[in-house]
Amino acid sequence: MSMTFLQMAVRLRQEVGGSGTGPTAVTGQSGEYKRFVDWIVTADEDIQRMHNEWLFMRGSFTLNTVSGTGSYTAADCVTPITDLRDWRKDTFKIYLQSAGSSSEVAMFFIDYQQWYDIYNTGSQTNSSPLYFSIGNDLSLKIAPKPNAVYVISGEYQKSVDTLAASSDVPVYPSEFHMAAVYGAMMKYARYTGAAEIYADAEKALKRIIKEMRRTQLPRTKFGAPLA
């Protein structure tokens, strides 16, 4: 069942036996309720950072090149990317827009220094891009510079999403939303010295994370059998 930020904070208070019936909002809180809210935020972010390969932390993009332009930012994508943490280098593909997607081929990653030395020095001839690199500012560098409009597509890794509004929900599937509550319970237990609450929450969190790893991480690929 999907849980909002506020619902998770209330559930945390219920699980640890906190006072009152709140919180009634995630903003404007103080004291114990403020700690409940902050622990939910931190626990949720901990889960997102647990693995770089979480499937729910991936996004897709499409970029239309401009003839003669070899450098692009996340904002230049067809749908501007606002949560970029890194590009997934093994997913890049490209095709000439006028030829259609049937002409799509894979692009090859090269080191930024190599791109700079070879393709960003002196006079260059525009042609069909086949290589790409990533600048220190996460800008995309393609080479050679395009001689027409090409369509580049691929995946990127999302940055951590921070819960802020009462109605916000975690970025991972709803069946795992209690993970943030259990993680927050462990933080509460450390703060108060409640060993039994810590042990129970840790056990429950491990169970959920195990299932998350099974369903939300890429499946292991095995090579062909040896002859």
Measured CA to CA, the distance from residue 14 to residue 121 in angstroms comes to 63
Measured CA to CA, the distance from residue 183 to residue 43 in angstroms comes to 5
pTM: 0.87
Measured CA to CA, the distance from residue 77 to residue 95 in angstroms comes to 15
pLDDT in tens, 187-221: 999 999 999 999 999 999 999 999 999 999 998 66
pLDDT tens, the chain, 227 aa long:
799 999 999 999 999 999 999 999 999 999 999 999 999 999 999 999 999 999 999 999 999 999 999 999 999 999 999 999 999 999 999 999 999 999 999 999 999 999 999 998 878 889 999 999 999 999 999 999 999 999 999 999 999 999 999 999 999 999 999 999 999 999 999 999 999 999 999 999 999 999 999 999 998 664 555 55
Q: Which two tokens stand for residue 114?
A: 């190599």
CA dihedral (119, 76, 55, 158) positive or negative = positive
Per DSSP, the three-state class of 127 is strand
Nearest Cα neighbor of 46 from 201, 150, 156 is: 201
Which residue stretches of the chain are H helix? Answer: 5-16, 31-49, 112-119, 178-192, 195-216
pLDDT at 221: 60
Per DSSP, the three-state class of 181 is helix
**Amino acid identity at 13:** R
* DSSP character at residue 21: S
